[in-house]
Amino acid sequence: MVHKSPEEVGVDAPALVQQYLDEMYNVEYSIPGCRRLLKKAAGNGRHSSLYRSNQEIRAS
């Protein structure tokens, strides 16, 4: 179970997204573009919601 956001544990999530998109789909996104994708994926404008615990998800 993950309790912290990637930034809190020292992971650069936008850079990982950027690398993944380049390697898998041969497309280039800027770091701000990757941040927007993460926010959109979260659905509520906060990518940290992607890292909620299972207990929090079940309560929703």
Residue 45 pLDDT > 60, yes or no? no
Closest Cα partner for 22 from 12, 10, 30, 13? 30
The confidence band for 43, taking pLDDT boundaries of 50, 70 and 90, is confident
- pLDDT for 17-36, tens place per residue? 999 999 999 999 999 999 99
**Six-digit token pair at 28?**
């280039």
- pLDDT for 5-17, tens place per residue? 777 888 888 999 9
Contact, 31 vs 15, CB < 8 A? yes
pLDDT of the residue at 11: 83
Residue 56 pLDDT > 60, yes or no? no
pLDDT of the residue at 21: 94
